[in-house]
Amino acid sequence: MSSGRYAVGIDFGTESGRATLVALEDGRELGTATYEYSHGVIDERLPYDDVELEPDWALQDPEDYLRTFQEAVPRLLAETGVDPADVIGVGIDFTACTMLPTLADGTPLCVLDELRAEPHAWVKLWKHHAAQPEADRINAVAAARGEPWLARYGGRYSSEWFFSKALQILDEAPDVYARADRMLEAADWVVWQLTGDETRNSCTAGYKALWSKREGFPGDGFFAALDPRFEHVVDEKMSRLVVPIGDRAGVLAERSAAWTGLPSGTPVAVANVDAHVSAPAATVTEPGAMVIIMGTSNCHILLGDSEQEVEGMCGVVEDGVVPGEFGYEAGQSGVGDIFAWFVETCGGDHAGLEREAATLRPGQSGLLALDWWNGNRSVLVDADLRGLLVGMTGATTAPEIYRTLIEATAFGTRVIVESFERAGVPVDRIVACGGLPGRNRLLMQIYADVTGRELAIAGSSQTPALGSAMFGAVAAGAGSGGYDSIVDASRRMAHLRPETYRPTAAHRDVYDRLYAEYVRLHDLFGRGGDDVMHTLKRIQRETRR
């Protein structure tokens, strides 16, 4: 590899897309350009024709993704002043499952005049939560049939995932379903727009669409049991050809070269998911290594050398994160979200609360929380669970509550780490990345104290874009100045911060005792011992009617 070569990584987030230029030599980030989606998250009404959406819907406009190519990449090139000819690869990552129906040529159904007023023709964003009845049906049918793949998903298929959303289209808009020649992840769709060739990546196929390298998709009989019209969904709307991440999807076509200002023929990597692509960007490429992407929620990506059944994880996919390894995913649905809720609801500001919370000793507040403001994604896999705070007195202060909420999310991570280890998937080292670790020292120290582990932090503050650029470099290959594998790319381009967080010996005992209380309440309220959270939700739903 010669110096002066670059790759572009493009990270498609929930509110914006951001393109980053990365030096292949050492992973240096030369610049980033962001495009704020003009329609953002569409969750109240469609941009056209004043069509109102039901609760729990969340859509996007696929044109916003194209505008990210058209606006962010040229701006990135202009601002960094790099010769486009020195950009040898492009990679993208996306939120997932974010999916859409298209014509055979990739035209999104929602751009057709006759369908633009039809909500089901649009992109269903990852946090579209209206397909719960379909998820319930998938779980019931899978359990009844004893589908073996269910264990790979912690025993529960999510309403956020591909077949829940696809089945909702069939249930509620059979015409849209019939009209769709293809249904695919937006991640794969944007790569298709870049290269002109349709590909399906192993990461989203594995984590969101029940595909596995060894067994492929579930059998048609399973889909037929969901709905006879759904029997051939894979062959009719999808593809059995799934390409491992790390492969090349194709090269920039003339059209996308014109959008971006990059040379046509530039290699483009197979699509990836924002969380999963962060692993190699955070140096996590070997079995036993875990990356925790910490932001509004936590996502845990762990590599293993074998497939094990782990209670309530999100999924395990061979080749899902690093080719040749088993990538395990778990998550906590509320982390930064909960801290933000507290600040919004109870005033104050994060910096002030953190400063005061940092002066407290563990256990001193007498408080404990269950961090289920957004439900529990792993290990219980129950979106209807709710938050709990216990131990308040007249002397309880806002910083004490703030610290307790941080501690609760740390306990939640410990539950996940221990679940993996108990199931025979070792967790040897942990790297944190994402928005929170770099700016919240207290949070990191508490996570170290609670888990009893040394925590490293990724050097990059935008690991998804860096990871995507790394996959772009792998798509190019060593022969073209890139790398031949993501492990090679990670070795040179991914870095850790010099400082780590080590457990404070004096805090371990108190946190072990508080954790024992957390686990008992977790099991009591999360495993059906006391059903108050569901009862409250049921009463709430009825009274809102």
Nearer to a second copy, 37 or 511 (CB): 511
* Token digits of residue 105: 């040529």
Angle at 65 between CA 63 and CA 67, to 5 degrees: 70
Provide the minimum distance between the beta carbon of 74 and a second copy in the complex, in angstroms, as a whole number: 37
Provide the minimum distance between the beta carbon of 333 and a second copy in the complex, in angstroms, as a whole number: 10
Alpha-carbon span 113 to 121, nearest angstrom: 11
For residue 91, the tally of other CB atoms under 10 A from its CB is 33
Helix (H, G, I), strand (E, B) or coil at 197: coil
Provide the minimum distance between the beta carbon of 181 and a second copy in the complex, in angstroms, as a whole number: 38
Rg (CA), the chain: 23
Task: Give whole-number Cα distances, 408 to 83, 156, 335, 389, 514, in Å.
Answer: 49, 24, 9, 10, 10
Nearer to a second copy, 348 or 452 (CB): 348
Nearer to a second copy, 68 or 297 (CB): 297
The answer to whether the beta carbons of residues 365 and 400 sit under 8 Å apart is yes
Alpha-carbon span 450 to 444, nearest angstrom: 10
The answer to whether the beta carbons of residues 436 and 294 sit under 8 Å apart is yes
Alpha-carbon span 486 to 482, nearest angstrom: 10
The answer to whether the beta carbons of residues 431 and 290 sit under 8 Å apart is yes
Provide the minimum distance between the beta carbon of 405 and a second copy in the complex, in angstroms, as a whole number: 10
Alpha-carbon span 505 to 454, nearest angstrom: 12
Nearer to a second copy, 325 or 354 (CB): 354
Provide the minimum distance between the beta carbon of 370 and a second copy in the complex, in angstroms, as a whole number: 8
Provide the minimum distance between the beta carbon of 536 and a second copy in the complex, in angstroms, as a whole number: 5
Nearer to a second copy, 170 or 370 (CB): 370
**Token match 């080719």: residue?**
323
Nearer to a second copy, 45 or 538 (CB): 538
Element (H, E) at 316: strand 315-318
Helix (H, G, I), strand (E, B) or coil at 337: helix
Let me know if 281 is exposed, middle or buried by CB neighbors in 10 A (0-12, 13-18, 19+). Answer: buried
Candidates 96, 94, 110; CA nearest to 61 is 110
Alpha-carbon span 95 to 161, nearest angstrom: 11
Nearer to a second copy, 178 or 539 (CB): 539
Candidates 242, 231, 170, 230; CA nearest to 199 is 242
The answer to whether the beta carbons of residues 276 and 319 sit under 8 Å apart is no
Nearer to a second copy, 245 or 408 (CB): 408
Nearer to a second copy, 478 or 519 (CB): 519
Provide the minimum distance between the beta carbon of 476 and a second copy in the complex, in angstroms, as a whole number: 42
Which pairing describes strands 289-294 and 182-185: parallel, antiparallel, or unpaired?
A: unpaired
Let me know if 52 is exposed, middle or buried by CB neighbors in 10 A (0-12, 13-18, 19+). Answer: exposed
Provide the minimum distance between the beta carbon of 443 and a second copy in the complex, in angstroms, as a whole number: 18
Task: Give whole-number Cα distances, 3 to 25, 90, 486, 513, in Å.
Answer: 6, 17, 18, 53
Nearer to a second copy, 177 or 525 (CB): 525
Provide the minimum distance between the beta carbon of 343 and a second copy in the complex, in angstroms, as a whole number: 11
Nearer to a second copy, 10 or 370 (CB): 370
Candidates 268, 265, 247, 248; CA nearest to 257 is 265
Provide the minimum distance between the beta carbon of 135 and a second copy in the complex, in angstroms, as a whole number: 19
Nearer to a second copy, 51 or 346 (CB): 346
Phi, psi of 488 (to 5 degrees): -60, -45
Provide the minimum distance between the beta carbon of 373 and a second copy in the complex, in angstroms, as a whole number: 5
Angle at 431 between CA 370 and CA 453, to 5 degrees: 65
Provide the minimum distance between the beta carbon of 42 and a second copy in the complex, in angstroms, as a whole number: 19
Element (H, E) at 457: strand 455-457
Residues in contact with a second copy by the rule CB under 8 A? 334, 337-338, 341, 345-348, 361-368, 373-374, 386-394, 396-398, 401, 510, 513-514, 517, 520-521, 524-525, 530, 532-533, 535-537, 539-540, 542-544
Q: What are the strands, taking DSSP E only, across 37-157?
A: 59-60, 87-94, 99-102, 123-124
Nearer to a second copy, 232 or 361 (CB): 361
Provide the minimum distance between the beta carbon of 483 and a second copy in the complex, in angstroms, as a whole number: 41
